[in-house]
A and B are shown apart, each in its own frame.
Chain A
Amino acid sequence: MTRYVLRRLALSIITLFLIILIVFLINNVFPSDIGRRLAGPFAPQVQVDEINEKLGTNDPLINQFGRLVKGVATFDYGDSYAQNRPVSDVIGQAFWRSMKLLVYALVLTIPLSVMAGIFAARRHGTVPDRAVVTLGVASSSIPEFVSSVILQAVIGVKLGWFHVVAKAPDGASILTQLSYLTLPALALVIVYFGYIARMTRAGVIAALDADYTRTATMKGLSTTQVLRRHVLRNGLQPTVSVVGVQIGYVMGSLVAIEKIFNYPGLGLTIFNAASKDPPVLVAGVLVVATVYMLATLASDLVLAWMNPRARLEVSR
């Protein structure tokens, strides 16, 4: 198991290096003038040249890339070009905000979706099953920016139950922060409920139809015991994989939700940095990639724990 984890981490480092290279090339292959972007279109050229000189944007690309790799290796990303403060502060705060939203959304989504999937699977082919599937397809079909706006208008403005902006005042308690994050978290629930519920339903249906389930039932185990020891353990494996992949996506891709709820998480920060703040862009992409890889590694380890056959594969 340890060898497996180390092997995966080593592969991750190679993946991250490739990501840095790709982002650097994309940022530099098209003509751009960072100094002009930062100084604005009306600044004198002298000022623009000073900025470019200070940032080293006129240096040969290989030198710039070398500095970037060295910075990443030493966790020193330098200062944000646009915000005049360390990139680690910018990304760190954005990451923490996204993490809070992610955890809150997962805490709401996973139990609800899994229970719905199990409920539907156990009533396979009946009206309740159809209802869950249809509801899931419908909710997944709604773009998150649409559900966000509707939630804001109805629950936030009309009913006044929750806040329409997601960022709580500095120093707010955890409960207050959660109340501010409820609407964007609900928007994510709407998006992911259907997807996770259907994956769970499919996995549980397959497990319910399996020989081992029939054997366990014929052996005299109670329904609860059969479900807990055999069905869920096998049926939830696709769900675990899906959740792992989605964590990485949620961390860095919620630009629309963050914009609508005015919540400067990692997605919006990366989006805003794309045109004029390469250090923040690179750092942000690396963080997202790292989270993605750690999340998939964690889901593989959970799968290994759940499935002895997978455990053998991991140990090899």
Chain B
Amino acid sequence: MDWKPFDRARATVGPEGLDLIESYSKGRINRRDFVRRGTVIGLSVPFLGAVIAACGGDDDTTSDDTAADGGSDTTPGTDTGTEPADTGGATGGIIRVATQKPAGPLDPVGMQDLGTYGIVAQCFEFLTTLGDSEMSPGVAPGLAETWESNEDGSVWTFHLRQGVKWHDGTDFTSADVAATMDRLAEANNSGLNGVIEAGSVDASDPAVAVFTLLAPNGNLPYLVSLYNAQSVITPVAYTTGTTLDASPNGTGAWKLKSFDAATGAEFERNPDWWGPAPALEGSVWSFFDDEGSMVTAASAGEVDTLVQFQFIGGDALFNDDNFTVNSFQAATHRQIWMRCDTGQFADPKVRQALGMCIDRQALIDTLFGGQADIGNDHVIAPVFPYFDASVPQRERDTEGARALLAEAGFPDGLSAVLHFGELQEIPELAQLIQAQAAEGGFTLELAGESLDTFYGAQWCPGEPADPPCSGAAELGIVDYGHRATPDVYLNAALSTGGVWNSSQYSSPAFDAAFADFSAAIGVEAQTAACKVIEEILLEDTPVIVPYFYNYISGFSNNFTGVRVSALGQMFLDQAAAA
């Protein structure tokens, strides 16, 4: 330990930074988590490097390595593709991208699907963006160059990048940030709901955006990052409902050249972008209704990169020598919700019993070829730095499940309808659950429908409107995309009155634990809060979470530097022809 630089570093940071440095120096978190958390709270990469050097350098053995078997050992939730920044590739060329068809209009505030996220993220940017190196694996400076919070994390100050222009030539300022956040607050954005309200951002200084939060929150930089897909910064003139294709604009590296909702989009390089000039001239995006066709197109060399594909149906690409598959750990998961307020699943014993019927490893092996983390019926994914692995894993026990059902008043078993939307592997998951649950006394009838109707009819009907989702079906499977923090899962899906709370779960203990987590500053405090959350959710089991599966993407070996997030945002600013 080199104490001089170490003490200098400690003297220059606030309480949260100090807590983080202490945790790292004492070996309570590993270097990767230290750097990830450090970038989130606004510590610069050189500063973090200096602390690491002062502490004696590499020590990745101090925490569990949470990389999934078979996954690449890149940073959880992000992917760097090949070595970024210095791609060494040729200048020029167009890359052909295959992506799922956007499910709706290119409305940055209202968009909900990965197809739209990817298109919008070509033109618009976030305050904090994808970390692109070992030294900044969490989030990196985007439209904000630096940021810091006050002592309790209730006020965050973002220093905006200067000289950034919108595609229409006007200047980017803090007024744009304030207007964007106001729109998100009014739209009850799931990531910022309860964190900010309209008027929370002070834009009196055009170069600085000051967020005064409704309650302290140590994760705000994540909540305004690419991991909250709707938080792209849009110009003041945008209103909720304005779409990218109707009003093309942005600050990003790519300008929208053409858009056809049925077939695809084209982007061209923005010569005035604030970052290093992209090597590529542009990209051509093709929309696909069917993932099988997408994989076939990649196998035939007719597209160069896929934003996302599944293990089921995509195995041809895993064995393709001309294709690089990136599979990285993520928090993407499926929740099997059960109504906690009424019906057959109101008794926690019944919910626990169903959880005990699930053979999670078998699901992972069958559906993902092993490329997933086992879930433990809570939403704290192993990819999160504050995941506590000491909470006992729920194991399959069909006899125990039957006993619990009998205790709950169902000695002869229980019948229910399992609703699900036809998305990716979910229909297969439903069939496997049906078979596994039958051994534990559950007779499940499967009811699948298209996503268009499923969300509004089964998962979260609009009526009754209060409380939200109170018209949800008794039992169903819903998908949750990756987030860099569990705030959305905890807040929207599980808090009392949460906007996505289909299970109608309401636990004062859980709500208090979530509040503690939100207010926690520092990895250790967050981990302690998460442990409580994990234990409560495991006990109450409002939802079953069987796995957190890897995000899988890939690109042809004719290109390098293709980066993608687990929310379907593909970053081509560092891509080049090989």
* A33-B456, A36-B462, A42-B499 known; A84 vs B296 contact (CB < 8 Å): no
Whether the Cβ atoms of B452 and A37 lie closer than 8 Å is yes
The 8 closest A-B pairs by CB, nearest first: A41-B455, A83-B261, A264-B262, A275-B452, A164-B300, A40-B112, A157-B300, A262-B293
Among A38, A82, A260, which residue has its beta carbon within 8 angstroms of that of B293? A260
Whether the Cβ atoms of B293 and A261 lie closer than 8 Å is yes
Interface string of A237-264 (1 = CB under 8 A from B): 0000000000000000000000111101
Among B104, B188, B262, B287, which residue has its beta carbon within 8 angstroms of that of A40? B104
Among A33, A45, A90, which residue has its beta carbon within 8 angstroms of that of B465? A45
* A83-B262, A84-B243, A275-B453 known; A42 vs B105 contact (CB < 8 Å): no
- CB neighbours of B190 from chain A (8 A): 42
Residue ranges of B at the interface with A (Cβ–Cβ < 8 Å): 103-105, 110-112, 186-188, 190, 240-241, 243, 245-246, 258, 260-263, 284, 286-290, 292-294, 296-297, 299-302, 450, 452-453, 455-456, 459-460, 462, 465, 499-500
- CB neighbours of A33 from chain B (8 A): 456, 462
Among B240, B286, B289, B296, which residue has its beta carbon within 8 angstroms of that of A152? B296
Q: Does A165 contact B (CB under 8 A)?
A: yes
Since A152-B300, A259-B290, A275-B453 are in contact, a sample of 10 more A-B pairs with Cβ atoms closer than 8 Å, ordered by chain A residue number, is: A39-B104, A39-B110, A41-B462, A42-B188, A42-B190, A44-B188, A84-B105, A160-B301, A169-B284, A259-B289
Nearest residue, chain A, Cβ from B189: A42
Interface string of A200-226 (1 = CB under 8 A from B): 000000000000000000000000000
Whether the Cβ atoms of B262 and A93 lie closer than 8 Å is yes
- Supply 17 A–B pairs (Cβ within 8 Å), ascending by A: A33-B462, A40-B110, A40-B455, A41-B455, A42-B460, A44-B188, A47-B187, A83-B262, A84-B246, A84-B261, A149-B292, A152-B296, A165-B293, A165-B302, A259-B290, A264-B262, A276-B452
Q: Does A287 contact B (CB under 8 A)?
A: no
Whether the Cβ atoms of A262 and B110 lie closer than 8 Å is no
Whether the Cβ atoms of A84 and B245 lie closer than 8 Å is yes
Among A43, A264, A272, which residue has its beta carbon within 8 angstroms of that of B110? A43
Min CB distance A179 to B, Å, is: 12
Whether the Cβ atoms of A275 and B450 lie closer than 8 Å is yes
Q: Does A156 contact B (CB under 8 A)?
A: yes
Most buried by B among A33, A40, A85, A261: A40
Min CB distance A73 to B, Å, is: 26
- CB neighbours of A149 from chain B (8 A): 292
- CB neighbours of A83 from chain B (8 A): 105, 261-262
Among B187, B294, B302, B453, which residue has its beta carbon within 8 angstroms of that of A43? B187
Whether the Cβ atoms of A38 and B296 lie closer than 8 Å is no
- CB neighbours of A234 from chain B (8 A): none
- CA of A291 to CA of B452 in the docked complex: distance in angstroms? 29
Min CB distance B495 to A, Å, is: 16
Q: Secondary structure of the B side of the interface?
A: loop
- CB neighbours of A122 from chain B (8 A): none
Nearest residue, chain A, Cβ from B188: A44
- CB neighbours of B459 from chain A (8 A): 41
- CB neighbours of A275 from chain B (8 A): 450, 452-453
Q: Does A153 contact B (CB under 8 A)?
A: yes
- CB neighbours of A45 from chain B (8 A): 462, 465
Min CB distance A55 to B, Å, is: 13
Q: Which size bracket describes the interface of A in this complex?
A: 35 or more
Nearest residue, chain B, Cβ from A274: B452
Nearest residue, chain B, Cβ from A48: B462
Among B110, B289, B292, B297, which residue has its beta carbon within 8 angstroms of that of A47? B110
Nearest residue, chain B, Cβ from A170: B258
- CB neighbours of B243 from chain A (8 A): 84
- CA of A35 to CA of B455 in the docked complex: distance in angstroms? 14
Nearest residue, chain B, Cβ from A264: B262
- CA of A112 to CA of B103 in the docked complex: distance in angstroms? 41
- CB neighbours of A153 from chain B (8 A): 296
- CB neighbours of A170 from chain B (8 A): 258
- CB neighbours of B456 from chain A (8 A): 33, 36-37, 41
Whether the Cβ atoms of B105 and A262 lie closer than 8 Å is no
Q: Does A199 contact B (CB under 8 A)?
A: no
Q: Does A269 contact B (CB under 8 A)?
A: yes
- CA of A169 to CA of B285 in the docked complex: distance in angstroms? 11
- CB neighbours of B110 from chain A (8 A): 39-40, 43, 47
Among A82, A90, A160, A169, which residue has its beta carbon within 8 angstroms of that of B104? A82
- CA of A264 to CA of B190 in the docked complex: distance in angstroms? 33
- CB neighbours of A47 from chain B (8 A): 110, 187, 240-241
- CA of A38 to CA of B126 in the docked complex: distance in angstroms? 25
* A36-B462, A47-B241, A269-B262 known; A156 vs B293 contact (CB < 8 Å): no
- CB neighbours of B297 from chain A (8 A): 164-165, 262
- CA of A118 to CA of B190 in the docked complex: distance in angstroms? 67
- CA of A279 to CA of B452 in the docked complex: distance in angstroms? 17
Among B103, B112, B263, which residue has its beta carbon within 8 angstroms of that of A42? B112
Min CB distance A70 to B, Å, is: 26
- CB neighbours of A198 from chain B (8 A): none
- CA of A36 to CA of B427 in the docked complex: distance in angstroms? 24
Whether the Cβ atoms of B302 and A164 lie closer than 8 Å is yes
- CA of A10 to CA of B95 in the docked complex: distance in angstroms? 52
Whether the Cβ atoms of A82 and B296 lie closer than 8 Å is no
- CA of A181 to CA of B489 in the docked complex: distance in angstroms? 45
Min CB distance B117 to A, Å, is: 13
Among A36, A85, A90, A163, which residue has its beta carbon within 8 angstroms of that of B300? A163
- CA of A84 to CA of B112 in the docked complex: distance in angstroms? 17
- CB neighbours of B260 from chain A (8 A): 93
Q: Which residues of A (138-173) have their CB < 8 Å from a CB of B? A: 149, 152-153, 156-157, 160, 163-165, 167, 169-170
Q: Which residues of A (278-295) have their CB < 8 Å from a CB of B? A: none
Among B240, B262, B284, B450, which residue has its beta carbon within 8 angstroms of that of A94? B262
Q: Does A268 contact B (CB under 8 A)?
A: yes
Whether the Cβ atoms of A90 and B462 lie closer than 8 Å is no
Min CB distance B127 to A, Å, is: 22
Whether the Cβ atoms of A82 and B105 lie closer than 8 Å is yes
Min CB distance B407 to A, Å, is: 36
Whether the Cβ atoms of A164 and B112 lie closer than 8 Å is no
Among A37, A94, A260, A272, which residue has its beta carbon within 8 angstroms of that of B292? A260
Q: Which residues of A (24-39) have their CB < 8 Å from a CB of B? A: 33, 36-39
- CA of A240 to CA of B194 in the docked complex: distance in angstroms? 68
- CA of A40 to CA of B453 in the docked complex: distance in angstroms? 10
- CA of A165 to CA of B186 in the docked complex: distance in angstroms? 42
- CB neighbours of B246 from chain A (8 A): 84
- CB neighbours of B262 from chain A (8 A): 83, 90, 93-94, 264, 269
- CB neighbours of B294 from chain A (8 A): 262
Among B111, B284, B289, which residue has its beta carbon within 8 angstroms of that of A272? B289
* A42-B112, A43-B187, A44-B188 known; A262 vs B286 contact (CB < 8 Å): yes
Min CB distance B341 to A, Å, is: 20
Whether the Cβ atoms of A156 and B296 lie closer than 8 Å is yes
- CA of A40 to CA of B241 in the docked complex: distance in angstroms? 12
- CA of A138 to CA of B347 in the docked complex: distance in angstroms? 57
- CA of A48 to CA of B465 in the docked complex: distance in angstroms? 13
Whether the Cβ atoms of A163 and B296 lie closer than 8 Å is no
Min CB distance B536 to A, Å, is: 26
- CA of A262 to CA of B104 in the docked complex: distance in angstroms? 18
* A37-B456, A164-B302, A275-B453 known; A44 vs B289 contact (CB < 8 Å): no
- CA of A272 to CA of B208 in the docked complex: distance in angstroms? 45
- CB neighbours of A163 from chain B (8 A): 300, 302
- CA of A167 to CA of B284 in the docked complex: distance in angstroms? 13
- CA of A83 to CA of B499 in the docked complex: distance in angstroms? 27
- CA of A153 to CA of B296 in the docked complex: distance in angstroms? 8
Whether the Cβ atoms of B290 and A260 lie closer than 8 Å is yes
Min CB distance B299 to A, Å, is: 5
- CB neighbours of B287 from chain A (8 A): 262
- CB neighbours of A268 from chain B (8 A): 289
- CA of A264 to CA of B288 in the docked complex: distance in angstroms? 9
